[in-house]
Amino acid sequence: MNSNIKLLYPTLDIYLYDLGEGLGEKPEKVQENRKQFWQRIYQRELNQEELENYAKLEQEQSNYIELLGKQRIEKFKYPLDGYYYPVKLGDTYGLQLDCSGKKNWLHNPQNVGVFTEIKEILLEHRGEAGQLGESWLMWGQLTKRIPEQELEQIARDCLKQINIEPYPNWNSPTENKDNKGLFKKTNFKNQGTFKDATLFELWQPPPSNQHILVILFPEFQKYEYVVATIEPLYKQLIQLFYYRNKIIWIYQKTREIKEKLKDDATEIQEIVDHLPQQIKDSPLNLQKLQENLTEALKKYSLYGANLRYLQEHRYAIEVNAENYKIRLARMKELDPNCDLEFLRDFQDYTFEKYLPQVINDYNSLSAGLQLLDHASKTLEGIIQLEQAKRDRNLNKTIFAVSAGIGTASASASSMANFAERIITQGHPPQKPASVSHLWASYSLAFFLSLGVGLVFTLGTGAILQLPWKQWLARLRGQ
């Protein structure tokens, strides 16, 4: 680093984004999100009355709400020169933390090493990182004329003061070629211009997901001009960075959904693979088939829900990418001669990588739902056929048993006389008859009638082709 480099108004900003109200979230969770966000600013426990007042501030019908109203900002404690600027962006909380060090630094040139101290101040005031992500802005004004080709090195020297981890690839595209003349992957993006300032962007994709914009103002501009340039830019950047971080956050959510679907797809394939064997089993285990159908339908419901979430996330990425494009156009309106093409790289990256990846995942994983639907319908059909078959057999069984019972009843009286003759054959009847004689007569008549009924039942069952052998085998198995 060149130790002679000094900047006026060295400033560091963090733009962070927290969840406000997600789709279908309960009021208790929304209240908890609100509490956590405001505690970032006041760094203390908030009472119920305070939270209710903050909730009222969010009721304005707008996609951009300044949550402190006319006050707009909450300043850091003296002697720090910094503030919080909270906003509500749709269903998301946005917060800009801005710090230029200490009050007495304002018009005094500072070595770029002060960015290390400013970073520590901001991190102490920030607390946890933004739930949806965050972007950083670093800016200052040069104290002397610097050749354009040296500006990139100054931006690197500034960035090194905040100790980015993991250490990025600082090579610019013009210096970062392999031996075949092809560009290697670089984190340091091309530069651009806005009014008289020069801009640089450092971007590391997930999982590190670090994003920093550096703005260097030329030495000849007055302080009032610098302020008049940076303040309207702040409002644009808090929205532009919101769409950017929201896209990355949503895309990461699609990766989580994809992993769940892949795990479910493996289980679905097992259900499908085991289906032929279940059909071949004889006799069919109806209870096991019903259990498998219940599991398949449950899996179908969860799998279908995750597929819908994947599709919804795709649309959300598209919407936020379009909003990013619109916001970038608004920034260009502030300076028609600006060069912000490097910021459009992320928009192109979204349409060329994120969206096609989510679409391909949805299309490929939809096949799992079709397989599961086919398996469920097959199981349901087999169960219905088996149930109908068993119902028919039950009706036949009832008919056979009824026929046997009817035959046994019809033959009972004749069997009683027949049993009487058998018992008294060779023995003269006694008058009155003894109890043992009566019981013997009745028992013999009963068993003879039962035998006739059983034979008739089995015979009727054989004619109706009832599966006696299978039922007996199943009973033995039990």
Q: Residue 209 in 3-state DSSP?
A: coil
CA distance 232 to 305: 43
CA distance 215 to 338: 13
* CA distance readout (Å), 271 to 268, 275, 384, 477: 5, 6, 19, 26
Residues 425 and 371 in one domain: no
- DSSP assignment, residue 337? T
Residues 269 and 318 in one domain: yes
What pLDDT sits at residue 177?
43
CA distance 25 to 376: 32
CA distance 124 to 5: 27
Q: CB within 8 A of 346, min separation 6: which ones?
A: 203, 244, 324
pTM for this predicted structure:
0.76
Task: Say if 231 falls within a structural domain.
Answer: no
Give Cα 176 to chain centroid, integer Å.
37
Please state whether beta strands 210-217 and 133-142 pair in parallel, antiparallel, or not at all (unpaired): parallel
Q: What is the amino acid identity at position 347?
A: Q
Task: Say if 238 falls within a structural domain.
Answer: no
Domain end marker among 364, 385, 406: 385
Are the beta carbons of 5 and 111 closer than 8 angstroms? Answer: yes
Residue that the structure tokens 């031996």 belong to = 179
Q: Provide the domain limits for residue 418.
A: 390-477
Residues 366 and 279 in one domain: yes
What pLDDT sits at residue 279?
61
Number of domains in the chain: 3
Task: Say if 460 falls within a structural domain.
Answer: yes
Task: Say if 240 falls within a structural domain.
Answer: no
Largest CA distance in the chain: 145
Q: What is the amino acid identity at position 88?
A: K
Residues 195 and 272 in one domain: no
Peptide bond before residue 168 is cis, with ω within 30 degrees of 0: no
Residues 65 and 201 in one domain: yes
Residues 186 and 257 in one domain: no
φ/ψ of 464, rounded to 5, equals -80, 0
Task: Say if 237 falls within a structural domain.
Answer: no
Residues 131 and 263 in one domain: no
In terms of Cα–Cα distance, which of 106, 173, 145, 104 is closest to 5? 145
Residues 400 and 279 in one domain: no
Question: Taking the CB of residue 83, how many other CB atoms lie within 10 A of it?
Answer: 17
Domain end marker among 357, 385, 413: 385
Q: 295-298: long-range contacts at Cβ-Cβ below 8 A with a sequence spacing of 24 or more?
A: 295/271, 296/271, 296/372, 296/375, 296/376, 296/379, 297/376
Residues 116 and 216 in one domain: yes
Residues 165 and 283 in one domain: no
Residues in the chain: 478
Task: Say if 420 falls within a structural domain.
Answer: yes
Are the beta carbons of 348 and 244 closer than 8 angstroms? Answer: no
What pLDDT sits at residue 208?
72
Residues 357 and 437 in one domain: no
Domain end marker among 325, 352, 385: 385
How large is the C-alpha radius of gyration of the chain?
41
In terms of Cα–Cα distance, which of 102, 95, 67 is closest to 81? 102
What pLDDT sits at residue 45?
86
Task: Say if 239 falls within a structural domain.
Answer: no
Q: What is the amino acid identity at position 41?
A: I
Q: What is the amino acid identity at position 243?
A: Y
What pLDDT sits at residue 296?
67
Per-residue pLDDT of the chain (478 residues; tens, 9 = 90+): 445 789 999 999 999 999 988 766 788 888 999 999 999 999 888 888 888 888 888 877 788 999 998 899 999 999 999 999 999 998 899 999 999 998 888 888 999 999 999 999 999 999 999 999 999 999 999 999 988 888 988 998 998 898 865 445 544 444 444 443 333 344 555 789 999 999 999 887 777 778 999 999 999 899 999 999 999 999 999 999 999 999 999 999 999 999 998 888 777 777 667 666 666 666 666 666 666 666 766 777 788 888 899 999 999 999 999 999 999 999 999 999 999 999 998 999 999 999 999 999 999 888 766 666 666 566 555 655 555 555 554 444 554 455 555 555 555 555 555 555 555 555 555 555 555 554 555 555 555 555 655 655 555 555 545 454 554 555 455 4
Task: Say if 26 falls within a structural domain.
Answer: yes
Residues 184 and 64 in one domain: yes
